């Protein structure tokens, strides 16, 4: 397995107020797969994603990516790990408002020693004609395309997506999911996609479902649906 999580435990608080939010998470994700991480609100999806992203600590357990352990790395090691391996896409885009589409994507390219061509990526993203616009001139879907561009331009091994369609309408959500699928295919990027939307399980190679911080389901899809054919 490319990404391996072993016996991860995570809690917040001490003594009486201690709450366990992840309990003995053990699973793996194959390189190049789309893994859809499902579960109700509060089930631990974002915490798990943030642990994989090296921005949240664990109480115990291990996380290996390509054979390298990330738990226990110091701040420098973690930032090297994030820079080398990860792209992050959030529900709230987290772009820089005063920059253009192209400039926002270039910010991601600076973080890599092997970035994709920004011109080529602008075409793939369907943003070529919008490349010189500032963010306030863009729709939500175009902003999310830009944030996917910023995450993908450094050619990450793993794309972590936290509710990437949470703020978007139905039609735009489907377009964004298709774009994530295109990125997965074109660049063999491993995708971990956190969502409330159960319908997205059909576009996954692997489905992980959490409840109360425990894995309730870890299955593979024999035949997955193209994102363009999803309905909900
Ligand atoms: N900093 C924190 N301190 C204390 N508890 C926290 C903290 N961050 C998260 N939690 C708790 O951890 C649990 C899991 O949170 P998490 O954000 O991972 O859920 P989620 O499945 O992503 O939910 P949602 O779908 O609503 O985003 C929740 O009960 C939450 O209240």
Containing 7, the helix (H) or strand (E) segment is strand 3-12
Closest CA to 218 of 8, 35, 10, 20: 35
Say which CATH number the domain at 65 has. 3.40.50.300
pLDDT in tens, 113-153: 889 999 999 999 999 999 999 999 999 999 999 999 999 99
The pLDDT value given to residue 100:
96
How many angstroms separate the Cα of 161 from the Cα of each of 15, 42, 134? 33, 17, 23
The residue count of the chain comes to 232
CB atoms within 10 A of CB 209: 19
How far is it, in rounded angstroms, from Cα 54 to Cα 72?
10
The pLDDT value given to residue 188:
95
The pLDDT value given to residue 177:
95
| Structural domain harbouring 34 | 3-229
**CA of residue 151 to ligand 1 center, whole Å:** 24
Nearest CA to ligand 1 atom 13: 42
Residue 93 has pLDDT above 90, yes or no: no
The arithmetic mean of pLDDT across residues 51-71, rounded, is 95
Give the position of tokens 């005063």. 98
**CA of residue 215 to ligand 1 center, whole Å:** 15
Our count of domains for the chain comes to 1
Closest CA to 152 of 82, 217, 105: 105
Residue 99 has pLDDT above 90, yes or no: yes
Buried b (16+ CB within 10 A) or exposed e, 124-155: bbebeebbeeebeebeebbbbbbbbbbbbbbb
The arithmetic mean of pLDDT across residues 33-40, rounded, is 97
**CA of residue 58 to ligand 1 center, whole Å:** 14
Q: Do residues 116 and 143 lie in contact, with contact meaning Cβ atoms separated by under 8 Å?
A: no
């Amino acid at each position: 397995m490319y990404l391996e999580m072993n016996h991860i435990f995570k809690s917040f608080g001490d003594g009486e107020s201690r709450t366990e939010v992840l309990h003995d998470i053990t699973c793996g994700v194959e390189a190049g797969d789309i893994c859809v991480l499902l579960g109700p609100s509060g089930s631990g999806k974002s915490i798990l994603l943030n642990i994989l992203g090296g921005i949240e600590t664990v109480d115990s357990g291990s996380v290996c990516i390509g054979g390298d352990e990330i738990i226990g790395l110091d701040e420098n090691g973690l930032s090297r790990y994030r820079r080398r391996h990860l792209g992050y896409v959030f529900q709230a885009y987290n772009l820089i408002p005063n920059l253009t589409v192209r400039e926002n994507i270039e910010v991601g390219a600076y973080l890599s020693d092997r970035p994709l061509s920004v011109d080529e990526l602008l075409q793939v993203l369907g943003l070529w004609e919008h490349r010189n616009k500032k963010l306030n001139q863009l729709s939500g879907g175009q902003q999310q395309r830009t944030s996917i561009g910023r995450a993908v331009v450094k050619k990450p091994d793993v794309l972590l997506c936290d509710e990437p369609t949470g703020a978007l309408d139905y039609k735009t959500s489907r377009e964004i999911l298709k774009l994530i699928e295109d990125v997965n295919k074109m660049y063999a990027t491993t995708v971990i996609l956190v969502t409330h939307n159960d319908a997205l399980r059909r576009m996954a190679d692997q489905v992980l479902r959490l409840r109360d911080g425990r894995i309730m389901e870890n299955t593979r899809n024999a035949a997955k649906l193209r994102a363009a054919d999803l309905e909900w």
